[in-house]
Amino acid sequence: MSALLEQYAKIVGDDVIDQLRQLAARLQGMKVVHINSTREGGGVAEILSWLIPLKREVGLDVVWEIITGEQDFYQCTKMFHNGLQGNQASIPESLLEGYERTNAEYAESMREVLRDADFVVIHDPQPAPLLGLFPDRRGKWVWRCHIDLSHPYRPVWRYLRDHVEHYDASIWSLSQFAQPLSHPMYLIPPSIDPLSQKNRELYPGEVNAVFDRYGLNPDIPLITQVSRFDRFKDPIGVVQAYRLIREYTHVQLVLAGGGASDDPEGEEVLKEVRAEAGDDPDIHILLLPSDAHREINAIQRASDIILQKSTREGFGLTVTEAMWKGKPVIGGDTGGIRLQVVNHHTGFLVSTPEGAALRIRYLLKDRENLEEMGAKAKQFVKSNFLVTRHLRDYLTLMNAISHGTLDRIDL
């Protein structure tokens, strides 16, 4: 067993790693290409950064490629993102033309690699039109949707559906997100990497250092939301919840996030959050670089409670990260957060700032329950949301997809 797999085995057990190797045995040397639109910032890039080395470790020949474009390409794909999550805004024709042109140019630059690959995974809408540009493709092409598509703005979805309908299969984080398509729609929740800088164990000194670095008081409870400055993450709602708690208890709030290179709206939302926070010395808005993984790790570990008060959420990896660190999570009652936050067991699901405030007050009062929920949360992640389970799902899909839609496949 390689040194890397041995490290995972220490966390999840030898039986889990053995199973991965056996599932990968029939896929040795297969050429796999993943394409998304950013190498840094946001959950997709993070997942790929640890999933791909692990795929290589079990014998697949994997490359990770990035589609890039001009400003109007990102403006268009951000509108896709918002529209697919329900924002009713049409995308101008000129932006769609630019989007398709960017994909066509990218297809030319990648022609041989993509044509000859055994397995191509296209992440989210940015590179979705690529399939139509490879009529001579040899392998299986899968569209991986990381977005909550349960209530899309229909005109935007109809446009995208024409691009994704003809993939061999699609992957969704939850069945609630899946829009009907004529191909098999696999369900694979995302995961975190327990060995990554963001999730590995830290020495207490490194954790405690964040109090000094950001002017936090170690004697006052710390509540934190880590996420991009995006309206769907409801950072304003978090500040409102904090204010409701402050009427009763002295707490500190950290809103820690950075921008993703494919998100042009981040700065605007950050301004709104700063305006809402005003000059309250106990609200700390931290704009961290996209590679500040260890710093985020320390902040999460230093916190008493983690919030993820999203109103729409594909999955919510920050929820998984917090739970892995033994923290109960107060999460928005939406999307993938529902899969992770088992109400009253690993945290609480809330729909309003009032609900978030109520649950935070309750947990700060009942420390024993807070600890117990945190322990349950960690165990839940260990069993279900680590990268080893994610890899197993991918390997199972790769084995299954070559056998059509059979219920049972005997290798």
Nearer to another protein, 197 or 396 (CB): 396
Query: Crossing angle of helices 387-401/3-12, nearest 10°?
Result: 110
Of 319-348, binders to another protein (CB under 8 A) are: 334, 339, 342, 345-346
22 near another protein, rule: CB under 8 A: yes
Nearer to another protein, 54 or 283 (CB): 54
Q: Shortest approach of another protein to residue 152 CB, angstroms?
A: 14
Nearer to another protein, 294 or 378 (CB): 378
What are the C-alpha distances in Å from 82 to residues 53, 93, 120? 31, 17, 25
Nearer to another protein, 171 or 269 (CB): 171
In the sheet that holds 222-226, the strands lie side by side as 283-287, 252-257, 222-226, 305-308, 329-332, 347-350
Q: Shortest approach of another protein to residue 373 CB, angstroms?
A: 12
Residue 18: CB partners within 8 Å, gap ≥ 6? Answer: none
Pair 335, 43: CB distance under 8 Å: no
Structure tokens at 77: 């794909």
Candidates 49, 68, 87, 176; binder of another protein (CB under 8 A) is: 176
Residue 366: CB partners within 8 Å, gap ≥ 6? Answer: none
What are the C-alpha distances in Å from 216 to residues 223, 246, 368? 11, 16, 24
Give, as one character, the DSSP assignment of residue 350: E
Nearer to another protein, 184 or 264 (CB): 184
Q: How far apart are CA 103 and CA 44, in angstroms?
A: 19
Stretch that binds another protein, among 194-202, 210-218, 219-227, 377-385 (CB under 8 A): 377-385
Candidates 1, 4, 11, 18; binder of another protein (CB under 8 A) is: 18
Candidates 305, 385, 387, 388; binder of another protein (CB under 8 A) is: 385
Interface size with another protein, residues (CB under 8 A)? 47
Stretch that binds another protein, among 159-167, 186-194, 202-210, 234-242 (CB under 8 A): 186-194
3-state secondary structure of 399: helix
16 near another protein, rule: CB under 8 A: yes
Q: Shortest approach of another protein to residue 183 CB, angstroms?
A: 10
| β partners of residue 141 | 120
Of 262-321, binders to another protein (CB under 8 A) are: none
Nearer to another protein, 14 or 97 (CB): 14
59 near another protein, rule: CB under 8 A: no
389 near another protein, rule: CB under 8 A: yes
165 near another protein, rule: CB under 8 A: no
Q: Shortest approach of another protein to residue 343 CB, angstroms?
A: 9
160 near another protein, rule: CB under 8 A: no
3 near another protein, rule: CB under 8 A: no
Smallest CA-to-CA distance from 304 within 353, 256, 253 is with 253
Q: How far apart are CA 114 and CA 130, in angstroms?
A: 9
Stretch that binds another protein, among 48-56, 221-229, 252-260, 394-402 (CB under 8 A): 394-402
Q: Shortest approach of another protein to residue 270 CB, angstroms?
A: 29
Q: Shortest approach of another protein to residue 203 CB, angstroms?
A: 30
Q: How far apart are CA 220 and CA 275, in angstroms?
A: 24
Candidates 7, 19, 87, 197; binder of another protein (CB under 8 A) is: 19
Nearer to another protein, 109 or 379 (CB): 379
Look up tokens 């896929």; give the residue. Answer: 27
DSSP string, 377-391: HHHHHHHHSBHHHHH
What are the C-alpha distances in Å from 20 to residues 1, 33, 55, 381, 386? 12, 19, 10, 18, 13
**210 backbone dihedrals φ, ψ, rounded to 5°:** -65, -25
400 near another protein, rule: CB under 8 A: yes
Residue 365: CB partners within 8 Å, gap ≥ 6? Answer: none
Nearer to another protein, 144 or 284 (CB): 144
Nearer to another protein, 217 or 383 (CB): 383
Smallest CA-to-CA distance from 35 within 118, 102, 98, 110 is with 110
Given the rule CB under 8 A, which residues bind another protein? Answer: 14-16, 18-19, 22-23, 25-26, 150, 172, 175-176, 178, 180-181, 184-189, 334, 339, 342, 345-346, 379-380, 383-385, 389, 392-393, 395-397, 399-400, 405-411
